[in-house]
Structure 1
Amino acid sequence: MALITCADCGRDVSSLASACVHCGRPMHANAVPNAASAPYAASPQCPLCAAPVVHPATRTGGRAWCERCGAQLIYGTDGALVQALPRGQQMAAARPVTPVVIVNERKSVGLAALLAFFFGPLGMAYATVGGAIAMCFISLFLMVVTMGLGLFITWPISVLWAVHAAQEHNRRVLYRVQV
């Protein structure tokens, strides 16, 4: 397999290709009717700004866009220009807008309780990051003041807070879905 240069667009194309992948020009002489007498037509021009349009849709039908003026050019299956729409008048269906869906996953209340039970304030980070940071500072302060006995107070509070935060998160997600 060798690379040959397309006569229309000047780009490299495989010698095994039946047509140029960039502009659609047939690469073999038997693919073009009357190839010896009628040379293949040059790239079409944009009717609005006269810039050459090099796009496969100009040969096979479909939509192309002018690189200079941004016009939308609609070609028929025979390669003839059907319609040219200036930049501001392009059809909405030409470039479909894909809706963005943000999915908030539900949080497991049991996992939140287990993480908070085993890791205390750090385990709360699954359910509530802000609450975990606040509880870490509170636990550190109480641990220093009470010589470690404050953890018997903050540890169960961390578990309860994590369960409550996970339930609230799930309630907000369900409310957002139902609205």
Structure 2
Amino acid sequence: MHILGHFRTITKHKILVAKGCFKVGLYWQGIMHDMSKYSPTEFIPGARYYQGNQSPNNIERRKYGISRAWLHHKGRNRHHFEYWIDYSLNPEAKCLVGMKIPKRYMAEMLVDRISAGKIYKKNDFTTESPLEYFNNGIGASIMHEASKDYLMMLLTMYAKKGEKETFRYVKRDLKEDISGYDKISPFEKTGSVVIG
């Protein structure tokens, strides 16, 4: 068990996310970010499988084929796209789809991805790291199209223009919807995962 190492890592991450959220005007979300990681359901496996260079959930998943800590976490934290997976609104379809994610959680998701990259990649982190991580993951295949496109736009902006300009844009977008994201219908076509 690596209690102190895990505690330091999740707390350092939480503080980084809080600072980022404060910069974009999401004060309460910054304070409350990832509080479930301190619950026994998430903290104990986190300390048990801690390595410091990747999520302990990955280690638990490799060992058991499932990460109970992750299932607990994603069901309580709206800044994860997995929180927003639901059955299709189309009664003919038998599939799971991504629902459109409210912009304030998209902003927290951006800050979370940046902060996680800084924590786990340390000196190897670049402004392109969060975009590369997203492109190598599964999010693009199941996220609501508008949410995926919005996140890709923000990650690309971060890669090209850096944190200060991206956070300035996000803060303004949260107030004024300069991106037009809020005007997009949640009923527009989205990626899906077929069941059966």
Q: Whose strand proportion is higher, 1 or 2?
A: 1
Q: TM-score, normalised by structure 1?
A: 0.25
Rg larger in structure: 1
Q: Whose helix proportion is higher, 1 or 2?
A: 2
Structure number with greater CO (CA < 8 Å, separation at least 6) is: 2
